[in-house]
Structure 1
Amino acid sequence: MRKLSLSWDLPVVAAAALVGAWGITTPSLWRDESVSAMVARMSFGDLFAFLGDLDAVHALYYLVLRPFAAIEAGPVEWWLRAPSWLAFVGAAYGVAVLGRRLAGPVAGLMAGMVYVVLPIASRYGQEARSYALVSLVAVAATWFLVELIEGRRPRRAFAGYFVSVCLLGALHLYALLLLLAHGVAVVAAARTSPERSRREVVAWVSACASAAVVLTPLVVIAAGQRETQVWWLKRPGLAEIGAFPVEVAGGVAGAVVLGALVAAGIWAARRTPVVGVWAIVPFAAAVAVSQVQPVYHARYVLYVVPGIALAAGIGLAVLARRWSPVAAAGGVTALAVLAAEAQVAQREPGARPDDLRALSATLAAERRPGDRVLFVPHRYRLFTAVYGELYRNLVDVTREPGSAVPRSGAQVRAALAGARRVWLVSPWIGARYRDDERLVGLRAGFEPGPVRAFGDVRLTLYERRAES
């Protein structure tokens, strides 16, 4: 039986490894990935000081990334993205195992392959952020939930579920919306088995309550950092809601096909409610909560994609039973073909929101001895300096050496004494940063040249005025 199971899982694991590795080093690291790299390379003292002001919600991920960020051999993109690649492979395997357990080997194989071909899954499987790991932990948590519901090895199921929920919250607090889906599944399952209802519900509530105790300090810290962490989130409207399935499947046609398969799978697995609620409830909850307090972004609900793939895999298994296995294979192939354009596009060199590699190459080609660099706002050094060797060869006037506190405008002017050229690295300078005192200090003696855009990051060369 073990050999049979392995033979069903190997194609999924191999396909996930290949798709996840395909083009993983081609797109430039972007702003969020730069933060991951820079924070993961900090000394522990600097790391804890940084987390006290920002990004405490990603502390666990930075610790996971730390040994990979320290590796200097080979492409930096590969090592920084490797944990997400491994998580993508692991999540695909977990989806296949869950599908096999809930609906048979064909459903498991199909579910795993659907997960592999969905562009959004491999997109974040190639990013140095926590979202692919969140998906992996969501799969693990759902596996232990199924064990909890079925009453198999209850102590192991309880311990595994508790640990999984703690990890889920530590990697991304908003992912705890998955627990709403789990709660619905527990209650629905308990209603079909009254003799086990009390035990199942009590076990689930106890595991969640225990995890809540563990996660409370992080919740308190994150609440205090919210305004600097996710101030940019907006209330999702119909456009954002409709865009999610398109982003998942890689296009409108793919979303239609995927939606039909998911609907068929949810209906076929109606006696196994965890399938339907996983694919729907967390997304709906995130959208609903965001009408009052924005918490929604497509990547923040990435952990529902394994549930979508699971439901679609069960839908394909229905096709295999009613017609033939060829029909199920054709369904996966159709999804892959419809997603191919998106898969290729997200692996282009400039596919990420910022092209920090091109920015660094431009600076390397055009800098001169004695050039300075200024980051406005000062955290943009963290956001852009992942290709850091170049920046170590420029005099950074943003802050005093060894200090995390930015210089004042007057201090910037003093630090620029004798300089002829200054590179400004910034976002678009609109009303938000126009009056930044460091920028005011720079403009007091320097004239800007043309602004060049590398995604959302801007590079501007300032040269000293003749009278200065």
Structure 2
Amino acid sequence: MSALPRAGRPALVAILPALVAAVLGGWRLGVPSLWRDESVSAMAARMSLADLRRLLADIDTVHALYYVLLRPFAALGGPPEVPFRLLSVVAFTAAAFGVAALGQRLAGPVAGLCGGLFYALTPIADRYAQEARSYALVSAVAVLSTWLLVRLVERPTPWLHVGYAASLALLGWLHLYAVLLVPAHLVAAWLAGRRSALLSAAGAGVALLPLVAIAAGQRGAQVFWLQAPGLKEVAAFPVEVAGSWPAAAVLFGLALWGAWRVPVVTLWAVVPVVLSMAISQVQPIYHPRYVLFAVPGLALLAGIGAAALLRHRRPAVTVPLAVLAFAVLTYGTQVALREPNGRPDDLRSLAAALAAEERPGDRVLFVPQRYRLFVAVYGEPYERLVDLTHAPGAAEPRTAAELGQALAGVERVWLVSPRIGPRYADDERYLALKKRLKPGRTRTFGSIHLTLYTRDN
């Protein structure tokens, strides 16, 4: 079998997975609160271009293109959850369509239909389909890049080379770690005898050089929290993807059955994840969401496996049953993802609690300072509070001495922070606050803590 087998042209079977993806993407879209990463996206999309340039000069240059693409959605108005997540829903729908169409081209309509439906039903894909971050869009571009690679291998033309190079550059500008797809593509092209794909990849690499240079300087502030994955993280990956061990057994089992049949899809599903974990042993870059763009390949591989396994067993009956079984196994996870507390932080409830209890003259302090951006998407209560983190008009946070002066005569300060563990216990602003005021009860809203400090009377 060739590295890139060719089947018929894409057909209407791709529409059903796209419709399922659209329905699941929209299902309870506005119920979970935006969490801190989404808050940053929303605030960046609302900023003036001058303020956005200042933000990107310090951090998040790797997300610059996504923030620009999100700006039209900021103009839609209304509660922030739905408009800021719409781009991801659209991307998820497009990716499901692309997976099904690509699967039909490579392995036939049954494989394409199953692959597209598996992707639409996979919990990790659904999770990021309802998040105001770039990961669903990255996955959609990964599907597009793989489609273009297949076309390029089948019948290379100058325009396909240009389009393929542009898609890889777009992939990297949306999320730099997504270039881990390129080695998988190059191996597939090599096996198919189309070494000219190397030139397209090289062109994309040149287009990404400015981003690489800037991102290298921001890495310490961007992904300092990443750690090298061990056996625990490797073992947890299937559950991260499928939501439970039974669902993972179905998805990964079918993918394993289909793994040898279409090498380009196998490489797409496996190489980025393996490379991410391997590189992370030296320089941590792995997180399940950072390899989300490999999940369309995994789902398509499962679709190919299902089509091969069931082709002699009345596929008109058994294929829908296989997809239905996967839907049943993932249903509990799908519901949990859409609960009000279905995100790492509940910023909406945090803002509601603050709005209900703040008093005139109250102050707020963010430790560390970046938490000001993390919670500001629900900004109304914070707009009424005097922010002690920065002096008016100052770019840098107050020093301990400056904060001490600002606290003179202040009776109540709300501290917004993560858990004050070893990482933040020595923060000079936190120490200055604790020295002058007494902490009350701390409430948690996911990983974000809210504590009221008052002066002893």
TM-score by length of 2: 0.95
Q: Does 1:215 align with 2:208?
A: yes
Q: Does 1:430 align with 2:421?
A: yes
Of the three residues 195, 201, 205, the one matched with 1:201 is 195
Partner SS state of residue 423, structure 2: coil
| Cα distance in 1 between the residues matched to 2:15 and 2:300 | 17
Of the three residues 157, 160, 163, the one matched with 1:160 is 163
| Cα distance in 2 between the residues matched to 1:292 and 1:43 | 38
Report the equivalent of 2:272. 282
Report the equivalent of 1:117. 121
Query: 2:65–2:174: 8 Å Cα contact kept in structure 1?
Result: yes
Report the equivalent of 2:386. 395
| Cα distance in 2 between the residues matched to 1:288 and 1:391 | 43
Q: How many residues align?
A: 448
- Alpha-carbon spacing, 1:379–1:110, altered in 2? closer, same or farther (3 Å): same
Report the equivalent of 1:242. 235
Letter in 2 for 1:236: P
| Cα distance in 2 between the residues matched to 1:158 and 1:224 | 31
Letter in 2 for 1:98: L
Shift of 1:320: 4.1
Query: 1:264–1:315: 8 Å Cα contact kept in structure 2?
Result: yes
Shift of 1:279: 1.2
Report the equivalent of 1:257. 250
Aligned-residue CA RMSD in angstroms? Answer: 1.4
| Cα distance in 1 between the residues matched to 2:67 and 2:351 | 24
Shift of 1:115: 0.4
| Cα distance in 2 between the residues matched to 1:240 and 1:445 | 43
TM-score by length of 1: 0.93
Letter in 2 for 1:428: R
Per-residue Cα deviation, 1:64-95 (whole angstroms, up to 9, x for no partner): 1112123322x210011111111111110110
Per-residue Cα deviation, 1:407-460 (whole angstroms, up to 9, x for no partner): 122222222333211100011112222222222222232111011111111100
Identity within the alignment, %: 57
Shift of 1:6: 5.4
Report the equivalent of 1:22. 27
1:207-356 equivalences in 2 (<5 Å): 207-267=200-260, 269=261, 272-325=262-315, 326-356=317-347
* Stretch moving more, 58-67 or 399-408: 399-408
| Cα distance in 1 between the residues matched to 2:431 and 2:284 | 34
| Cα distance in 2 between the residues matched to 1:77 and 1:382 | 16
Letter in 1 for 2:263: P
Letter in 1 for 2:265: V
Letter in 1 for 2:245: V
| Cα distance in 2 between the residues matched to 1:5 and 1:436 | 58
| Cα distance in 2 between the residues matched to 1:217 and 1:158 | 22
Q: Does 1:179 align with 2:182?
A: yes
Q: Does 1:53 align with 2:44?
A: no
| Cα distance in 1 between the residues matched to 2:10 and 2:198 | 32
Per-residue Cα deviation, 1:365-401 (whole angstroms, up to 9, x for no partner): 1111111111111111011111012211111111123
Query: 1:60–1:171: 8 Å Cα contact kept in structure 2?
Result: yes
Per-residue Cα deviation, 1:292-331 (whole angstroms, up to 9, x for no partner): 1111110010011000111111112224421112111111
Partner SS state of residue 430, structure 2: helix
Structure 2 gaps of 5+ residues are 1-8
Of the three residues 82, 99, 109, the one matched with 1:105 is 109
Query: 1:249–1:335: 8 Å Cα contact kept in structure 2?
Result: no
| Cα distance in 2 between the residues matched to 1:445 and 1:237 | 43
| Cα distance in 1 between the residues matched to 2:228 and 2:106 | 36
Partner SS state of residue 195, structure 2: helix
Partner SS state of residue 144, structure 1: helix
Partner SS state of residue 360, structure 2: coil
Per-residue Cα deviation, 1:5-38 (whole angstroms, up to 9, x for no partner): 5532221121111011111111111111111111
| Cα distance in 1 between the residues matched to 2:16 and 2:442 | 49
| Cα distance in 2 between the residues matched to 1:402 and 1:156 | 51
Per-residue Cα deviation, 1:195-217 (whole angstroms, up to 9, x for no partner): xxxxx212x11111111111111
Shift of 1:349: 0.7
Partner SS state of residue 306, structure 1: helix
| Cα distance in 1 between the residues matched to 2:11 and 2:187 | 32
Report the equivalent of 1:194. none
Of the three residues 368, 373, 385, the one matched with 1:382 is 373
Letter in 2 for 1:148: L
* Stretch moving more, 104-113 or 128-137: 104-113
* Stretch moving more, 437-446 or 338-347: 437-446
Letter in 2 for 1:251: S
Per-residue Cα deviation, 1:100-130 (whole angstroms, up to 9, x for no partner): 1111122111111010110000100011111
Report the equivalent of 2:48. 43
Per-residue Cα deviation, 1:156-208 (whole angstroms, up to 9, x for no partner): 32121111101111011111111111011011111xxxxxxxxx212x11111
Report the equivalent of 2:3. none
Report the equivalent of 2:39. 34
| Cα distance in 1 between the residues matched to 2:235 and 2:215 | 29
Query: 2:180–2:276: 8 Å Cα contact kept in structure 1?
Result: yes
Of the three residues 81, 84, 103, the one matched with 2:85 is 81
Per-residue Cα deviation, 1:320-349 (whole angstroms, up to 9, x for no partner): 421112111111111111111111111111
Partner SS state of residue 201, structure 1: coil
* Stretch moving more, 397-406 or 357-366: 397-406
| Cα distance in 2 between the residues matched to 1:278 and 1:384 | 36
